[in-house]
Amino acid sequence: MSRSLSDRVRPWLGSAVLHVAFVVVLAVAAYNWRSDPPPEQLAIEGDVVRYEDLPPTVRSGKPLRETAPPVEQPSDPQPRDTPTPEPKPEPAPEPLPVDDSAQKQADALKLEQERLAAERQAEEQVAAERQRAKDAEARQQKEADALAASQRAAEAAAAKRKAEETKQQEAIAAKAREAEQAAAAREAKLRGEREAALKKALESEEEGEAFARSGIVDEYKAMLTQTIERNWNKPPSARQGLQCTLHVTQAPGGTVIDVKIGECNGDQAVRESVANAVYRSSPLPAPRDPRAFERQLVMVFKPTE
3-state class of 250 per DSSP?
strand
The tens digit of pLDDT for each residue in 109-165 reads: 999 999 999 999 999 999 999 999 999 999 999 999 999 999 999 999 999 999 999
Let me know if domain 215-301 sits in CATH 3.40.50.300.
no
Question: How many Å apart are CA 295 and CA 169, to the nearest integer?
Answer: 57
**pLDDT digits over 79-95, tens only?**
455 556 666 666 666 66
Give the integer Cα–Cα distance in Å for 299 and 302: 9
pLDDT at 67: 47
- Above 80 in pLDDT, residue 220? yes
In this prediction, what percent of the chain has a pLDDT beyond 70?
70
**pTM reported for the whole predicted model:** 0.33
pLDDT attached to residue 130 = 93
Using CA atoms, how far residue 208 sits from 39, 87, 201, 250, in Å, is 159, 188, 10, 20
Q: Say which residue, 206 or 256, is predicted with more confidence.
A: 256
Report the pLDDT value the prediction gives residue 199, as an integer from 0 to 100: 82
CA angle 20, 26, 31 (to 5 degrees): 125
| Confidence at residue 122, expressed as pLDDT on a 0 to 100 scale | 94
Q: Quick check: helix, strand or coil at residue 73?
A: coil
Interatomic CA distance for residues 5 and 16, integer angstroms: 17
Q: Is residue 213 very low, low, confident or very high in pLDDT (cuts 50, 70, 90)? A: low
Percent of the chain at pLDDT > 90 equals 33
Strand pairing class (244-250; 256-264) = antiparallel
Nearest Cα to Cα of residue 277 among 213, 292, 242: 242
pLDDT tier at 5, thresholds 50, 70, 90: low
Terminal-to-terminal C-alpha distance of the chain? 126
Confidence of residue 188 (pLDDT cuts 50, 70, 90): very high
For residue 214, pLDDT over 80 is answered with: no
Mean pLDDT over the full length of the chain: 79
- Round to whole Å and give the CA distance between 71 and 73: 6
In this predicted structure, the answer to whether residue 42 has a pLDDT above a threshold of 60 is no
pLDDT per residue over 245-291, tens digit each?
999 999 988 899 999 999 998 899 999 999 999 999 889 888 888 88
Range with the poorest average pLDDT among 12-26, 135-149, 181-195, 240-254: 12-26
pLDDT at 183 over 90: yes
Query: Which pLDDT score is estimated for 105?
Result: 87
For 174, what's the count of Cα atoms within 13 Å in the CB-facing half-sphere? 6
